[in-house]
Amino acid sequence: MHDDEEILAVARAGFLDEASDMLRQFEQALLIMEEDPTDAENLNAAFRAAHTIKGTAGLFGFDAVVHFTHEAETLLECLRSGQLAVNEHLTALLLRSRDQMEALLEEVRSGESDPEVAAVSHSLGAELRAAMTATSAPAAPSAPSAAPSEAAEVTTAAQGPGYWHISLRFGLDALRNGLDPLAFIRYLDSLGAVKHMHLVQALIPPLEGMDPENCYVGVEVAFESSASQQAIEQVFDFCHDDCDVAVLAPNADAASRQALLERRAEDSEAREALSSLWDRMGLVAPAEADLLPEPELTPAPAPTPIAAAAAPEPVSEAAPAAHIAAAAPSAKAAPKERKSEESRFIRVRADKLDRLIDLIGELVIASSGAQLVAHTEQSPSFMEAAQRISDIVEEARDGALGLRMVPIGDTFARFHRVVRDLSKQLGKDIELVITGGDTELDKSMVETIADPLMHLVRNSLDHGIEPTEQRIAVGKSAQGRLAFNAYHESGSIVIEVSDDGKGLDRDRILKKAIERNLIPHDAVLDDEAIYQLIFLPGFSTAEAVTNVSGRGVGMDVVKRNIESLRGHIRVASQPGRGATMQIRLPLTLAMIDGFLTMVGDVHYVLPLSVVSECIDVPQECLADPDRVCGTFDLRGEVLPYLDLARFYGVEPGLARRRSLIVVRDGTVRIGLVVDRLLGEHQTVIKPLAGIFRHIKALAGSTILGSGAVALVLDMQGVVQAATRQDTRLAPGLGLYSQRIGSDDKVAA
């Protein structure tokens, strides 16, 4: 019993993961449908997503999900058949249905039922049914409608012998592939009634020759239903690769039945027995069969209350009712193609992947230690072996980190719905443009960055982009534009959220900050420093609080979440032209290629991607060795520098020749004065203990091959320390308390 419960739990988790993917596809298809109602394939995609959720939920017995999803699916079928025209009301109704499906799936996940969720299902289901029964002129079909022969099947279903004939032969691997034959039979109850069912015992081998993992199930079913042939066939869509399915209409002719008889029986004796069985089950008209002794019939299983199955998905030409519907070759090709595509992917638990990354990190440290010993021993063969191991470990590291990289476009795509709903709520016409969606980012970052992006989007829509009347009055297009862009730069990923609205009001921000005593009234700030004020807790320039924004809660959370990922955010704005929020994040939080340096007895690591060049310490730095920071001339360009020894209060080493490392963070270049250069180093980043978090410009630590601890520099903090210092700035800005050129030391 314990094993069964564990298997069901794993299967349920897999269903919920798949359902989440289907919900995203469903929502995306609905949003496209709103923009282009004539896109028939997109409408079919929405229907398939809903059908998959309902069908899989039915196999697990999640009746609440099945019942409600069927209502939405039926409305989609009305749109596909042209009975209803796509309009804003129906799209909004389907989007609300998508949200309700998510709520019902969350109940499945938690195992708890909420009466309010059930009430919403009831009321929203009534709205869906009302929308389907609303009188409207027939619209031009957005998808090919069912062929006339299909409609004829329904009207003639009661003719002939009166029952649909369903003949199933499951493959030996059906059970191994997770199929439950009885579940498909029970699912038929949603379309009609199973009158008779007979298990083909000839397919079952003797007990001594039976493999308990093989499936030996073959059944003949007499099914009473007014559904169409395709609706019945779709019940078995999920098992076409593992089951030979044949469906004969009640009015099928003798030739069709004879063809099926020859498929199912090899010799004349077996055919006579099978024909007699069909006759006694009511599957053969009296004129077609010779009456033979009545075989023993297996009673049909008790009906299981499952919601109605999927409405048929129209095809360009329906199969004639008189022919066997045992899946045409084209119909079988699609499932096989999908299965082949799906076989390229495998779901892996996130904690297992994290454990693998941790082990790879320990392997990197061990490899570094082996190289250190090899150099100490001065053994050429040992050094060669250690280097070969190091190369393999580096390749394994890159491969393991690549497993956690996902396209950020999936995160961007979620905002189509947000922009759509908020623009309608605010009465604005706004277009969302996404570029760079294939740029990859560590999955752990994707989950954290989604919330900050949400805040930025809401502020752009509410405060940035003007109403249509104001845009037209100033000569802008009536439709506003919100853009997402992502790209790689210098070992980092850059995410930009920009709009073409009115931009940030520099003077208003400064005035509000002074009114709230966030900065002194005589503070001297450049534009970028002023724009950074919007990230202070409680800061807002909104004249009125709305349901969308305006309370000053959120932008400080944006900055805090981004900085927790060792990233930073910058703001650029042009009055009347729009604003851009630029987020810069490291590619991964786990391991990096680093550049190892030494100051005094302390090792420091910089990301190798930011190192531009290494030079001797310039004369400007040597002129006053006690200065923490200043400027120097690099081939005609004036750059700021920071002496790490003075910055951290470390006594410089006794090395006669110190060095300056020129690093680049985005478009900013600075120099870092260090005592020794130790070269490249594969760095496994480990978090600092809470007691050290107050120390500025540190991103974490790492363990060297010798067992010593090195500190990983946070380039954002280092750049701020070297370039943005003012004695009158408020501490809340996180800037240091002096100007470049001051002779006072900076407190670390």
Would you state the pLDDT for residue 549? 54
What CATH number is attached to the domain comprising 26? 1.20.120.160
Judged by phi (left if over 0) then psi (alpha if -120 to 50, else beta), residue 726 lies in beta
Would you state the pLDDT for residue 252? 84
According to DSSP, the residues that pair with 441 across neighbouring strands are 406
| Residue positions counted in the chain | 748
Would you state the pLDDT for residue 279? 84
Q: Is the pLDDT of residue 499 over 90?
A: yes
Would you state the pLDDT for residue 582? 92
Residues 671 and 726 in one domain: yes
Residues 103 and 212 in one domain: no
Select from 315, 339, 363 the last residue of a domain. 339
Q: How far apart are CA 221 and CA 186, in angstroms?
A: 12
Residues 466 and 394 in one domain: no
Q: Does residue 743 form part of some domain?
A: no
Q: Is the pLDDT of residue 151 over 60?
A: no
What CATH number is attached to the domain comprising 447? 3.30.565.10
Residues 580 and 601 in one domain: no
Q: Does residue 509 form part of some domain?
A: yes
Residues 181 and 315 in one domain: yes
Mean pLDDT, residues 436-443: 86
Q: Name the band, by pLDDT with cuts 50, 70 and 90, for residue 345.
A: low
Three-state SS at 225: strand
Residues 438 and 570 in one domain: yes
Residue labelled with tokens 């066939």: 233
Would you state the pLDDT for residue 288? 52
Select from 142, 163, 198 the last residue of a domain. 142
Torsion of Cα atoms, 144 then 150 then 151 then 153, to 10°: -170
Would you state the pLDDT for residue 44? 86
Q: Does residue 615 form part of some domain?
A: yes
Q: Does residue 742 form part of some domain?
A: no
Q: What distances in angstroms separate CA 37 from CA 31, 132, 136, 146, 639, one per listed residue?
A: 10, 17, 16, 19, 57
Q: Is the pLDDT of residue 316 over 60?
A: no
What CATH number is attached to the domain comprising 640? 2.30.30.40
Q: What distances in angstroms separate CA 404 from CA 20, 409, 563, 635, 650, one per listed residue?
A: 19, 15, 20, 42, 38
Select from 316, 339, 362 the last residue of a domain. 339
Residues 608 and 563 in one domain: no
- DSSP states of 234-273: HTTGGGGGGEEEEEE-TT--HHHHHHHHHHH-SSHHHHHH
Residues 164 and 312 in one domain: yes
According to DSSP, the residues that pair with 484 across neighbouring strands are 434, 497
Q: Does residue 168 form part of some domain?
A: yes
Angle between helices 88-110 and 40-60 (to 10 degrees): 30
Q: How far apart are CA 556 and CA 550, in angstroms?
A: 13
Quick one: DSSP state of residue 659? Answer: E
Lowest mean pLDDT, pick from 49-53, 133-137, 493-497: 133-137
Q: Name the band, by pLDDT with cuts 50, 70 and 90, for residue 4.
A: low
CA atoms within 13 A on the CB side of 523: 26
Number of domains the chain is built from: 5
Q: Does residue 345 form part of some domain?
A: no
Residues 536 and 444 in one domain: yes
Q: Is the pLDDT of residue 338 over 60?
A: no
Residues 444 and 387 in one domain: no
Q: What distances in angstroms separate CA 144 from CA 234, 264, 313, 593, one per listed residue?
A: 17, 34, 10, 56
Residues 485 and 559 in one domain: yes
- The share of the chain scoring above pLDDT 70, in percent, equals 80
Mean pLDDT, residues 669-687: 86
Mean pLDDT, residues 108-128: 88
More confident call, 721 vs 638: 638
Domain with 88 in it? 2-142
Residues 500 and 441 in one domain: yes
Three-state SS at 673: strand
Q: Is the pLDDT of residue 7 over 80?
A: no
Q: Does residue 362 form part of some domain?
A: yes
Q: Does residue 740 form part of some domain?
A: no
